Structure 1
Amino acid sequence: MTLPKVFVSGASGTVGSEVAIGIRRAGYTVYGLVRSPEKAKSLVLNEIIPVIGDLKRPETYAEIISRCSIVVHCASDYADYGGVESVALDAFIQGLHNHKDSPHAARLIFTSGILVYKENRSVDEPLSEDAPREGDSDLAFFQARLKNEDFVLNLHKTHQIHGIVVRPGYVFGKAQRHFYHYFDQALEGDVFIRGRGSVAWSKIHIDDLVDGYLRILAAGDDLPGAAALSQVSGEAFNFSDGLVDTNFEIAKAFAALAGYDGPEPREDLSLTSPMADKSVIVSSEKAKRVLGWRVRHQGLLDEAHLYWDLWRTRRAQQ
């Protein structure tokens, strides 16, 4: 079976790079969008074909998308989220309409996140994909993300393209940025939380998240256990390991690994935002049921010593 060609935006980002590498390791031909020749080098070393361009300038990547039947959108430009995404999504759709990679059905996998949901602090009642979202938020970012999610989820009705939305929890492991700043703070002797210590989010190891993308890509293929394309088209999927740790618990555990023995982590409410200062706990039962997806990695705090060693080794190499 010949696998389809895949275009990945944000292929040099912390999430996008791992997604692109994982897709390539699964046997797909992968084109990765990056902004500079320097960033392209790491893609070449991982057998990914670099596309040097800019999401805001479709002419730099539109022709490449016409060679692909799948687009995995991992990039974000928070300075102008709505504007950039609108331009990019239009370009993705036009390219997929023109794709020459028959007979594979065109699909667009859109990376969102669990912060689109309203606050939920209940471990016993985690949010499913149809839970209320932040529709009444006045933040431009939220409004644009919700609009784009809905647009992608309806592509099968409006453009004959299969749209799927991925909503990861906070991603940890490897080069991910979340939570490592507590190691820096511990060495500086002042451990503080950007917001409320009681806030808790669902989380997911990057490798388990990549496995979720791969299962969505495989939908419709004649492979054992693969979901039918009709089961993923127009659907959103949460990806979470089901474990819940508060900001305070994470900060305290990470600081201890770095040898910190000072006062307990303090809250700095001036450094938070309405977007992140809320607890969001989600369920991944749909991904398990439809995709056959399972969590394989232990939780963030269960293997925190590995992330301390990783951070320390990377810092020594800088």
Structure 2
Amino acid sequence: MRVLIIGATGFIGLPAAQALVRAGHVVFGLARTPEKAKLLAVEEIVPVSGDASDPSKWIDLVATIDVIIEAIGGTMELPQLSTKVLNAVSEASQKLRPAGSAKIAYIYTSGVWVHGDDRKNYVTDTTPIVNPAALVAWRPALEKLVATHTVLNGIVVRPGLVYGRSASLLASAFAAPTGKVLWPGTPGGRLSVVHTDDLAEFYLLASEKSAVLAGQIFDIVNDVTESVDDVLARVVKVNGASGYEYFTPTNPFEAAIASTNLIRPHLARALLGWVPRKAGLVDGLETYYAAFKAANSNEDAWSAYTAAK
């Protein structure tokens, strides 16, 4: 297959691109800078100069591509940007692809926060979305647009909190070795999580089976949720902090992180045979913390991370 990943240098997109390359597929990735392009080239990913906000730089690839994975990282303009990218791909597909061509598979990356905060009720991939977290209240409408698209084979993936490697959202907890670890919310919460490698494996399987997955929406999380209290206690043990403490969320992002999602996914297992293999967050936290430290072992790397936040 020929696969284009929009967000190929990001925390989700890069492992997905690596998994597809290892499986023998030709993978293109957007790169905003020469440094990012070099990162992709080293991984045998074909760098495409440009970014998601300017489709003119990469849209010609639509003529010959099989799968597009949209894995754009968090940004203030994400609702508008994701819609812009979807529309650009749809329009280009109709203009650039010969009549009778197979539909492009379009895998859109959403997230489990659309399920909202609920500490009592289990939900599944197909549970109706009725109370999404405020931060992502716009996502369900876009999910529906992707899943019901008439021009593209739309597929939606909702990862849980992604862990491993450079830590992503867990970095704020990992990076508090001399003081208290602070986390939004209240005691008793639980997290639906997935390791970045297991998520990458899902993107590979979904891409390879995309021709028969149009309209599907997948929650991609481990079989068991994890206690936030247990996670924070383990973080304190491995990073040397003096303890942990909850605080009241002050913005929609913190409120989303504080939410509990009791998810029992089934579609990825039933349709793709996807099974998470990495150790859970608490069980493997010492290893994941060491990976975080290595990824941010110099001042430039840490400055780049904090600037991105």
> Cα–Cα, structure 1 residues 236 and 299, in superposed 2: closer, same or farther, change >3 Å?
same
| Corresponding position: 1:305 with 2:305 | no
Contact 1:193 1:267 (8 Å CA) reproduced: yes
Partner of 2:136: 142
SS for the counterpart of 2:76 is helix
Partner of 1:211: 201
Contact 1:134 1:142 (8 Å CA) reproduced: no
Inter-partner Cα distance in structure 2 for 1:114 and 1:77: 14
The counterpart of 2:3, out of the listed 6, 16, 32, is 6
Partner of 1:275: 256
> Cα–Cα, structure 1 residues 188 and 271, in superposed 2: closer, same or farther, change >3 Å?
farther
Partner of 1:74: 71
Deviation, 1:208, is 0.9
Deviation, 1:301, is 0.7
Inter-partner Cα distance in structure 2 for 1:18 and 1:136: 27
Partner of 2:125: 129
Deviation, 1:272, is 5.2
CA deviations on 1:50-76 (whole Å, 9 max, x unpaired) are 112122211111112322121010014
Contact 2:115 2:132 (8 Å CA) reproduced: no
Inter-partner Cα distance in structure 2 for 1:136 and 1:283: 17
| Corresponding position: 1:39 with 2:36 | yes
Amino acid at match of 2:127: A
> Cα–Cα, structure 1 residues 236 and 136, in superposed 2: closer, same or farther, change >3 Å?
closer
TM-score between the two structures when normalised by the length of structure 2: 0.88
Amino acid at match of 1:129: D
> Cα–Cα, structure 1 residues 134 and 275, in superposed 2: closer, same or farther, change >3 Å?
farther
The structure in which a higher percent of residues are strand is: 2
Deviation, 1:167, is 0.8
Partner of 1:170: 161
SS for the counterpart of 1:178 is helix
- Report sequence identity in percent: 24
Inter-partner Cα distance in structure 1 for 2:218 and 2:290: 32
How many pairs were matched up?
296
Pairwise CA RMSD: 2.3
CA deviations on 1:141-160 (whole Å, 9 max, x unpaired) are 534311110110001xx22x
Partner of 1:257: 238
Which sections of structure 1, spanning at least 5 residues, go unmatched? Answer: 221-228
Greater shift in the superposed pair: 300-309 or 141-150:
141-150
| Corresponding position: 1:106 with 2:104 | yes
Inter-partner Cα distance in structure 2 for 1:99 and 1:5: 14
Amino acid at match of 1:130: T
Amino acid at match of 2:198: D
What aligned pairs does 1:172-187 form with structure 2 within 5 A after superposition? Answer: 172-185=163-176, 187=177
Partner of 2:147: 153
Deviation, 1:48, is 0.6
Inter-partner Cα distance in structure 1 for 2:245 and 2:204: 40
SS for the counterpart of 2:122 is coil
Inter-partner Cα distance in structure 2 for 1:250 and 1:93: 42
| Corresponding position: 1:118 with 2:108 | no
> Cα–Cα, structure 1 residues 114 and 38, in superposed 2: closer, same or farther, change >3 Å?
same
Deviation, 1:77, is 4.8
Deviation, 1:109, is 0.5
| Corresponding position: 1:236 with 2:227 | no
SS for the counterpart of 1:33 is strand
